[in-house]
Structure 1
Amino acid sequence: MTSATTETADEAPLFGPASQFSAFFDDPRWALALIRATVLEAAHPQVGAALLDNSTFVAHPWRRLRNTFFSLRRMFGADPSVREREAARLNRLHARISGSDARGRGYDARDRATRAWVVATLFESTVTMCRLSGQPLGQDTMEQMYAEYRAYLAALDGDAAELPTELKDFWRYFDGVVENELENTEAARVILYRLFDQLPAPALLTGVPTLWAAGRAVAGPVLGAITVASLPEAYRRRAGLPEMPGAPTLMQGAYFAAGLARFLPQGWINAETIIETLSLSPDSDDPRSPAATAVRSRMKRASALLRLLTPLPAAASASDRGDGRRSAAEFFREVLDQTGDGHLDWPDLAAMARELATRLDLDEPEETRLYDAFAAWWRELQAALDTDGDGRVSADEYAAAVPSLAGPALIRVAEVLFDATDKDGNGTIDADEYRTLFRTAFHRDLTTADGTCGRGAFVGGFLSFMAGRRSGTPYDPLLADA
C-alpha cells in the first residue's frame, strides 16, 4: 500500500474528480450518512464537548452544512495548493477551540486521535450507507476509499499515523472506540432529539413558518428514528438509545429509496446547487433567484392555507411578521446567541469571527486581527452587561442594557471587517469585494454615487444591524440566517 499522500501512475488518484470520494459527493444517501457520522462524532466525549461549547450546528445548521460541504470539496479537490490552504485554515480554526466538559475533562480540537475519529466516522458511514442501501462496496473500492480518507487526515496532521495503515485493522480500531470510548453525550442527544424537532428553516424557506413547522413535525422524528437504527448496535446498547418499532425497516427503506437516484441521468442531482439554492435570500440577485422566489411564493400560499387550519406559533419572528422590526429577545436569539445555548459568551463571538473569516477567505494576519477585534468586543460586553458576574450574558441582561452594545470595541470590529473586505486597500468596497462578503449585489443603503461602498456607510450599516432593531438588512445573511 502506498503513502497516504501520494499515488503512482498505475493507481487511482486519492484526490480530485476521479476519486471514490467524489463519486459519492452528489449521492443523496450521503445526506443520511453525514447525519449518522455527525452523531458518532458527537458521541466522542472530546468532540461532543467541543461541539456543545463552540459549534453553531443548533442555531445555524444550514450555514454549518454549507461551510462543511465546501471545506470537504476543497480538501478533496485536485489542486494541492487549495488543499494545503484549506488545511491551514482548518488547523487555525481548531487551534482556537479548547476547554473542558461538564465533568472537567479537557478537550482540544487539535488532538490527533480525536481528529482521526472524525475522519473514521466519515469513512465508516459511507461504507455503511452502501451496505444499507443494498449496494455494498467491493474490497478494492473500500481499500481505495480508505486510502483517500487517510490522505485527508494526513493533509491536516502531516501524517495519518492515528488511523491503522491497513483496512483490515481499521475495523478493530473502529469497534474498539465504539465499545470503549463513545458515550451518550449531550451533543449526540441534541442532534438526535432536539435538532430535528427544532430545525430552523433555510433562507429559501423563510416566511413560511407554519408550513415548515408542519413538515418538520413529520420529518424530524422519522430522521431521528432512521439515524438511531443505523448506529452500531454496541453504541445503541452502551448509550441506552431506544429503537422505535419498525425503525430498522424504515431505515432500510430510506437508504434503498435514496439509492435509487443512481438511475437518474447524470447531473440531475448536484449537491452544490441544492445547498446554494437553499441559501438564497429573498432579495438575492443570483440567476436562480426568480425560480426560488416563485417557489417561495407558492409555499407562502400553501402556508396561508395551512394557517387557517392550525394556529400560528406563539411567537413569530420579524421576518415572519414582515414588519422589519426585531425585538431585543429576537436579536439575542437569532444573532448574538450563535451556539444556541441561551447565553452570550466568547464562543458566540468567536463563531461570528469564524463565519466572517470563512466568507472572506482570510489568511494570517488578517484572520487574527478579526478575532482580536471580536475578543476586545467580548471584553467590553462582559464588563457592561454581565451584571451577575457568571462570565456570560443572559438574554435578560442583554435586554436590560442593550444601548451598551455599540461601544468603541464594536466600532473597531466594523472597521477591521471593512479593511478585511477591502482587499485592494483603496478605501472603498467595490462590487466584487461586496459580493465576496454578502454573496449578492450591492444593497442600495450602502452604495454611493460612484457605485462603491465607503467606510462610513459600511461601519454605520454594521452598527445599525448590531443595534438589533431591524431585520432584512444586508448584514442579516452574515450572522442571522440559519
Structure 2
Amino acid sequence: MFGPGSQFNAFFNDPRWALAMVRATVLEAAHPQIGAALIENSTFVAHPWRRLYNTFLSMQRMFGADDHTRQREAARLNRMHARLSGTDAKMRPYDARDPGARAWVVATLFESAVTMCRLSGQPLEQTTMEKLYAEFRAFLAAMGDEAGHLPPTLPAFWQYFDRVVEEELENTEALRIILYKLFDHLPAPPVLEGLPTVWAAGRALAGPVIGTITVASLPEPFRRRAGLPEIPGAQTLTQSAYLAVGLGRFLPEGWIQAEGLAGLLTLSPDSDDPRARTVRAVRDGMKRAGALLRLITPLPEQPGSARATVPQRGAAEFFHEVLDQTGDGYLEWPDLAAMARELSGRLDLDEPQETRLYNAYADWWRELRTALDRDGDGRISQEEYAAGVTSLAGPALIRVAEVLFEATDSDGNGTIDAEEYRSLFRTAFRRDTAGTDGTYSRGAFVRDFLSFMAGRRRSTPYDPLLSQA
C-alpha cells in the first residue's frame, strides 16, 4: 500500500498535484469543523510556504516505505490534532480528532487525485482508481482511525462524497480566505525575498487565474450552494491548465522532483545549501529585472521590502512577522502553539520533549497575557504589545529558550554541534554562532534566542525559524 510500487508513489512527482492540492485544501476548508480549526490555529495565511513544506514532508513520511517512520509521523500528527479544539464563530464545537473530519481530509485528497486525471484528459481506469482508494484508506488506518470512517467500496465512496458535498460543506471563512485573500496577498517565498516588485507583478497575474481554476474544478452542487461565481470560459481554462501542467510528466525522468521543488521554495538565499548559490544568482538577475520593471510600471512598496538592509525591526513589524503566526492581527495562544508545533516538527521530537516545549510556551503565554493584555479580552493587540514590549523577555521566555536548547541538544552533552544545529536551523554554523570549540553553547543559544524573541534585533539563523513565510 505504501512506498515504491504504490499508485500514490506514481503520482508523487506529478506536477498536476500542485493544482489538485489547492483544490483539496479548499474542499477541506469548506467542512465546518476543519474550516474552524484552520481559522483558529493554522499558519496557512501568514506562513503558507512553510506550511506547504511541512505538509509535503508529512505526506512523504506517511506514504514512504519505512513503517517505523510512518508510525512515528502518525503519532506526531495525532498529538498535534489532540491540541486543536474549540468553538467556531457560530459557537459550534470543533475537534481535529473528529473521525468524520479526518476521513473528509483523506477523501478530498483521493477525489482531487481522480479529478486531476479526469480534467487533464486521462481519467483513471477502474482498477487503478480502486487501488488508489485502498491506499488512502490504508493511510487513514495508519493514523489509527477505524477503516469504517471511509466506505469500504468505491461505489459507496462516491455516494458518501456527494452526500457530504450537498449536506455538510459550507462557504466558510477559511474557504473565502483561500480563494479570495490568500492568492491576492501571498507573500513571496524565501527564494524571492527582497524582490517585492517582481513578486507582486507575477502574483497579480497568477492569483486570479489560480482562483478561477480552483473554483471551476469544485463540485457543481457545492459551487451553487456556496454562491461561488460562474465565470464564462472557466471550465475550458481549467481543463487547459490541467492539461498544460500535466505535460510536465513527459519531461526526462528526474527533471521534476517534488522534494527538490518543495525544498527550493523554502530555501533561504543565505543558506549554505549548494542550491543557494544558484538562488542568489537568480535573485540578483531578478533584482535587475525588477528595477527595470519599476521604471516602466511603478508598484506600491511592499511590507518588508527593506528587510535586507535594515538590521533592526520595529515593534509592529516583529509583531506581524514573528508573533502573529496565524495572521489574524492578534497575539493569542494558537500563535505560540504554532511556534511550538513548528519547532517540534523540525526537531522530530518524541512525546515527552514535545510536551515540555508546549508547556514552556504555555507558561510564556500566561506571562505575556498577565503583562500585556490591558483590556482583559484574552488576546494581545499590536498596540498592547508595542506599549509593553520590554516585558517580553521574562522568566517564562528564558525557560522556553532552555527547553528548546535541551530538545536540540539530542545527545545531552550540553552543547549543540553542527548536526544538531542543522536539525533546527536547516543550515550550517555561522562564524558568529559557533564557539572556538566548533559548538553552540547553552549560554550563547539562550542569549541569542532571547535577543531575537524580544524583538531587539534581526538574526540570520533565527529569522527563517519563525518568521519565514
TM-score by length of 1: 0.96
Q: Does 1:143 align with 2:143?
A: no
SS in 2 for 1:107: strand
Match of 1:3 in 2: none
1:345-388 per-position Cα deviation (integer Å, ceiling 9, x unaligned): 00000000000000000002000000000000000000011111
Cα–Cα, structure 1 residues 320 and 215, in superposed 2: closer, same or farther, change >3 Å?
Answer: farther
Cα–Cα, structure 1 residues 118 and 389, in superposed 2: closer, same or farther, change >3 Å?
Answer: same
Compare 469-478 and 196-205 and name the one that shifted more. Answer: 469-478
Name the aligned partner's letter for residue 461 of structure 1.
D
1:260-312 per-position Cα deviation (integer Å, ceiling 9, x unaligned): 12221111100110111121112111011111111111111111212223445
Name the aligned partner's letter for residue 475 of structure 1.
Y
2:372 is aligned, of 370, 382, 385, to: 385
Separation in 2, partners of 1:478, 1:74: 21
SS in 1 for 2:143: helix
Match of 2:350 in 1: 363
- In the alignment, is the contact (CA less than 8 A) between 2:99 and 2:145 conserved in 1? no
1:273 is aligned, of 260, 263, 268, to: 260
Separation in 2, partners of 1:316, 1:150: 44
Q: Does 1:50 align with 2:37?
A: yes
Separation in 1, partners of 2:74, 2:378: 33
2:220 is aligned, of 230, 233, 255, to: 233
Instruction: Give the CA deviation at 1:443.
Output: 2.1
Separation in 1, partners of 2:400, 2:280: 34
Separation in 1, partners of 2:21, 2:246: 15
Separation in 1, partners of 2:369, 2:222: 40
Match of 2:180 in 1: 193
1:325 is aligned, of 305, 312, 319, to: 312
Match of 1:59 in 2: 46
Instruction: Give the CA deviation at 1:157.
Output: 2.5
Match of 2:198 in 1: 211
Match of 1:27 in 2: 14
- In the alignment, is the contact (CA less than 8 A) between 1:318 and 1:471 conserved in 2? no
Q: Does 1:286 align with 2:258?
A: no
1:167 is aligned, of 154, 168, 179, to: 154
Summarize the alignment of residues 288-303 of structure 1 with structure 2, pairs less than 5 Å apart. Answer: 288-303=275-290
- In the alignment, is the contact (CA less than 8 A) between 1:319 and 1:471 conserved in 2? no
Name the aligned partner's letter for residue 172 of structure 2.
T
Instruction: Give the CA deviation at 1:325.
Output: 2.1
- In the alignment, is the contact (CA less than 8 A) between 1:112 and 1:157 conserved in 2? no
Summarize the alignment of residues 77-476 of structure 1 with structure 2, pairs less than 5 Å apart. Answer: 77-314=64-301, 316-317=303-304, 319-320=306-307, 322-476=309-463
Aligned-residue identity in percent: 72
Separation in 2, partners of 1:151, 1:262: 26
- In the alignment, is the contact (CA less than 8 A) between 2:452 and 2:459 conserved in 1? no
Separation in 1, partners of 2:390, 2:88: 33
Name the aligned partner's letter for residue 438 of structure 2.
G
- In the alignment, is the contact (CA less than 8 A) between 1:319 and 1:472 conserved in 2? no
Name the aligned partner's letter for residue 12 of structure 2.
F
SS in 2 for 1:140: helix
Instruction: Give the CA deviation at 1:320.
Output: 3.7
SS in 2 for 1:445: coil
**Which residues of structure 2 form unaligned runs of 5+?**
none
Pairs aligned (count): 469
- In the alignment, is the contact (CA less than 8 A) between 1:318 and 1:326 conserved in 2? no
Name the aligned partner's letter for residue 399 of structure 2.
R
Match of 1:8 in 2: none
Instruction: Give the CA deviation at 1:230.
Output: 0.3
Instruction: Give the CA deviation at 1:111.
Output: 0.4
Separation in 2, partners of 1:356, 1:330: 22
Separation in 2, partners of 1:155, 1:224: 33
Separation in 1, partners of 2:233, 2:171: 23
Separation in 2, partners of 1:258, 1:439: 30
Separation in 1, partners of 2:394, 2:75: 33
Separation in 2, partners of 1:192, 1:114: 21
Instruction: Give the CA deviation at 1:445.
Output: 2.6
Cα–Cα, structure 1 residues 117 and 183, in superposed 2: closer, same or farther, change >3 Å?
Answer: same
Name the aligned partner's letter for residue 192 of structure 1.
L
Name the aligned partner's letter for residue 331 of structure 2.
L
Name the aligned partner's letter for residue 252 of structure 1.
Q
Match of 1:5 in 2: none
Separation in 2, partners of 1:316, 1:46: 33
Name the aligned partner's letter for residue 462 of structure 2.
Y
Name the aligned partner's letter for residue 239 of structure 1.
A
Name the aligned partner's letter for residue 271 of structure 1.
A
Cα–Cα, structure 1 residues 327 and 303, in superposed 2: closer, same or farther, change >3 Å?
Answer: same
Separation in 2, partners of 1:108, 1:143: 30
- In the alignment, is the contact (CA less than 8 A) between 2:340 and 2:357 conserved in 1? yes
1:405-463 per-position Cα deviation (integer Å, ceiling 9, x unaligned): 11110010000000000001010000000000000011223211011000111011101
- In the alignment, is the contact (CA less than 8 A) between 1:47 and 1:114 conserved in 2? yes
TM-score by length of 2: 0.98
- In the alignment, is the contact (CA less than 8 A) between 2:196 and 2:302 conserved in 1? no
Separation in 1, partners of 2:431, 2:316: 28
Separation in 2, partners of 1:368, 1:262: 43
Instruction: Give the CA deviation at 1:45.
Output: 0.2
Match of 2:28 in 1: 41
